[in-house]
Amino acid sequence: MNLDFAQLVPSIPYILYGIWVTLQFVAVSLVLGFLLGTVLSFFKIGKVRVLRWFADAYTSVFRGTPLILQMLLIYYAIPQLTGVDIGAFTAGVLTFALNSAAYVSEIIRAGINAVDKGQKEAAMALGIPYRTMMMKIILPQALKNILPALMNEFITLTKESAIVSVIGALDIMRRAQIVGASNYAFFEPLLLAGLIYYLLVMLLTIAGRVLERRLAKSD
């Protein structure tokens, strides 16, 4: 066994730049996935049957098929069908946002259902309109309860983002592989990539704890 980290040193900035790519990718997917997931959860608890059916079918499909299959479909199929080349980054973001929305919608739905129904009755008795009630009374309470589950989903998203390396997006994972291939030494760059992912997840975990503590101020 001969590990040579000195050989890796010139490539470190190249790999580190992947953090920026991964972060951009994760942040955009996370926000889009969360917004779409919220809308889907409203569909699920709403009274309109078509929307309820749509949201259930949506969740079922995106949870029921492999993420990498969804990504390859979006990356290769959209250009095939429309002639528009959407690029690896866009295809990746689209896949992850759509996929994450399915999971997030289930988490939020459960959170909303867990809020005491007396809250809704109190809001109704005060004449508070449905939208305001959902956005300002029910959802804040639901979010507080589901924060750990949401953080879990965000952490999964961050790690799973490494799959975009398959379609050639230059994220941390892809860069580590490229460096490994050009040096004929994979252990060192992959170890570095692993360390970076771990630190990113730790940062997310800490951010989640801080947020949780801030939301707990009313307890």
Partner 1 sequence: MINVEGLRKSFGKNEVLKGISTKINKGEVIAVIGPSGSGKSTFLRCMNLLETRDGGSITIEGTDIQQMEAHLRKKIGMVFQHFHLFPHLTVLENITFAPLQVLKKTKKEAEHAGLDLLNKVGLAEKAHAYPSSLSGGQKQRVAIARALAMNPEIMLFDEPTSALDPEMVKEVLQVMNDLAKTGMTMVIVTHEMGFAKEVADRVLFMDDGKLVEDSSPQVFFENPNTDRAKAFLEKVL
Instruction: Tell me how far CA of residue 184 lies from CA of 165, 187, 194, in angstroms.
Output: 19, 10, 18
Beta carbon nearer to partner 1, 63 or 136: 136
Q: Does 77 bind partner 1 (CB under 8 A)?
A: no
Q: Is the dihedral of CA 145, 148, 150, 153 positive or negative?
A: negative
Beta carbon nearer to partner 1, 141 or 152: 141
Q: Does 47 bind partner 1 (CB under 8 A)?
A: no
C-beta separation of 22 from 172 below 8 A: yes
Sequence-distant (6+) residues with CB within 8 A of 117 are: none
Q: Does 213 bind partner 1 (CB under 8 A)?
A: no
Instruction: For residue 143, count other CB atoms closer than 10 A to its CB.
Output: 17
Q: Does 194 bind partner 1 (CB under 8 A)?
A: no
**Range 90-119, binding partner 1 (CB under 8 A):** 116, 118-119
Minimum distance from residue 109 beta carbon to partner 1 (Å): 19
How far apart (Å, rounded) are the C-alpha atoms in residues 202 and 206? 6
Beta carbon nearer to partner 1, 199 or 216: 216
Rule CB under 8 A: which residues touch partner 1? 116, 118-119, 121-122, 124-129, 132, 136-137, 140-141, 144, 215, 217-219
